[in-house]
Chain A
């Protein structure tokens, strides 16, 4: 017989196999290890999905803001002609000419469309769940915004200073995040998309400057 420190956990010392205690202990130990490994893998996967989604959300929102601001940066002539909650018409340069462009949110196809005067609508930004525009106007010509309106029509009575753009963007993500009981985000019912809001303010150039 080996001294205690050399005794082993296998059944060689027991002519009739493992004892009940050894069996219970090894099963428990194996179970613990399996739980630890499974939890680690699940957490790792969850973390990977979360990182991917967050990065996509950030990249998407930055790109969308940059795209809209760049497109609206070279306005000309009368500037913004009119606007409502989800549409805006403005004059901007196109090949040296001042042309009217209409931007509109299409709720069916979930995108932002752009149409040059006399042309066809084309998709400008994809995966936009909703768009809300607010028009910061100056009614008394003191060069201060005194009202935020839901609609705007260019006239000599009011000056448009800023447009606040509230967008809800859709970012593709795995449904596994949703099943994880994560209620941080709003999900679109019909697909595996996370809805995230993006707000920015467009300051019109050359107003009271």
Chain B
């Protein structure tokens, strides 16, 4: 077991962000963490990583290499992907070869010398993941990595995550793309301050746990189909 959280409560100021959450994270899992906006998903990740101290409850973390990739890794703006990797690989001689290999694993080798802020959102996420790989990260926590990324890039991104999982990397991903997540992950956790659902994706009933989110998506879908003058199909 990598992380064991028991009855974790987090208050941020006066607000109860997470309420008595208990969960275990096992090696090799690919967890989709879903829930409405303001449900405490990001806070939960940060608490599991020790960046936020729980108000109550306890967290036990196995010794392993963890990394957290925020939604926008804009702190790397202005430097090249190779330099982003330098952040974790420096000190070792011949550091460029493993750095290039890490970029290759996320299909970003061709962009090694571009400036980070010239890359698309999805490419930036992939560079951040490469940084984690170069640091030999065992557990990768991603915070809405596919927000604002077009669909073909999303598919490529998910394929990369799946291949990382097959290579033994444990992943927790916060996402709003519920339908894609359900096809991808080995376990779904639905959070709204407390855990509403924690189990295999096959048994997750979207309309039961996320009625609002589901109807919103459904309506959007419906709207697209009903619009005869809609955008041409790509």
Q: Do A and B bind each other?
A: no
Chain A interface (Cβ within 8 Å of chain B)?
none
